Amino acid sequence: MTEKFKILPENVGMRLDIFLLEKMPDCSRSHIKNMIEKGLVSVNEKVVKKAGTILKQNSSVSAEVLQPEEISTQPEDIDLNIVYEDGDLLVINKPQGLVVHPCSSTKSGTLVNALLYHIKDLSGINGQLRPGIVHRLDKDTSGLLVVAKNDTAHKSLAQQIKEKSAHRNYLAVLEGNLKNESGTVETFIGRDPKDRKKMAVTTSGRVAITEYKVLQHFKDCCLVEFSLKTGRTHQIRVHAKYLGHPVVGDKLYGHELKSLKGQLLHAYKLSFVHPKTQERMTFEVNLPDYFENYLKKQKRENI
């Protein structure tokens, strides 16, 4: 697959590898460097093999995406909380701590491994590492995911997410209390230039739009509903930090809590049009016990 990008005024003067990191946030810096060194990246249709090439005005970049190292994905008998299933798709309530698909650091024990065990057929659009995966949740984010069983369903669901006709709503507890009761955050999100494991609000990157509404205030935190209008990596977590109120328990963008295994972020509601029946389907799931227990503790302390 070849990706093509235009150099905008704000990109002029950037290193080629940094530019591609912002445009392809799912790729690591070493992966992009490898692509460049193998001659898979061109600037103005000329192959460039130096990662530090400085981009100029009125240029274009094309990159033939190098497939990551091959990982054998095997079926594994891992329990799944299946909320809904038919011949075209299934909706899963993913628990906190479960990685969605295999990668170089996690080669087994993922949602995909579980899906391969429980489901006979999955769409093949995303290849053998991500069969059926239309969208993702972070490892320590819990909640609803839709999985496609065939390519027709996959294309329809992916298009709905792209066109924003599929709706995803989250609940999160944020550190401190937001000044405004509701609002919209619209920024660019790209790789953090100081820490490649993190995403950050940047001057270029990709547009990210998040709507929020405060549901309840506590002494030292608040319960907030988020609605995604785009689907960038770590989007809610990055925007929460940008607002000055990181998600509680988020050790990457905020502060780790020993009483929690990860951030208090839960995808509680998912709505989309069924690819075959054209019926609008909406699913909701309750908060996990550890999330509810934290809220109960805050309510007691408010008295």
Query: Which of 141, 162, 183 is the last residue in one of the domains?
Result: 162
**What is the pLDDT averaged over residues 288-299?**
96
**78 and 29 assigned to the same domain:** no
Poorest-pLDDT segment among 17-21, 71-75, 169-173: 71-75
The answer to the question of residue 295 being in a domain is no
Q: Taking residues 290-300, what's their average pLDDT?
A: 95
- The domain spanning residue 150 has which CATH number? 3.30.2350.10
Looking at the structure, tell me whether residues 41 and 118 fall in a common domain: no
- Asked whether residue 186 falls in the same domain as residue 258, the answer is yes
Could you report the per-residue pLDDT of 19-33, keeping only the tens digit for each? 888 787 667 677 788
- Angle at the Cα of 36 (from 31 to 38), degrees rounded to 5? 95
Number of separate domains in the chain: 3
Q: What are the DSSP calls for 112-166, one per residue?
A: HHHHHHH-S----TTTTTSTTBSS---TT-EEEEEEESSHHHHHHHHHHHHHT-S
Element (H, E) at 207: strand 206-217
Determine whether 138 is an active site residue. Answer: yes
CATH of the domain at 53: 3.10.290.10
- In the listed set 33, 64, 95, which residue is the last one of a domain according to the structure? 64
Least confident of 1-15, 43-57, 163-177, 198-212: 1-15
- Residue 149 belongs to domain spanning: 73-162
Domain annotation covers residue 183: yes
Return the percentage of the chain with pLDDT > 90, whole number.
65
State pLDDT tens for residues 38-55.
Answer: 899 999 999 999 988 999
User: Do 52 and 113 belong to one domain?
Assistant: no
- Is the pLDDT at 130 greater than 90? The verdict is no
Residue 255 lies in a domain: yes
Last residue of a domain, one of 45, 64, 83: 64
From the candidates 17, 138, 140, 250, which is the catalytic residue?
Answer: 138
Residue 280 is predicted with a pLDDT of 98
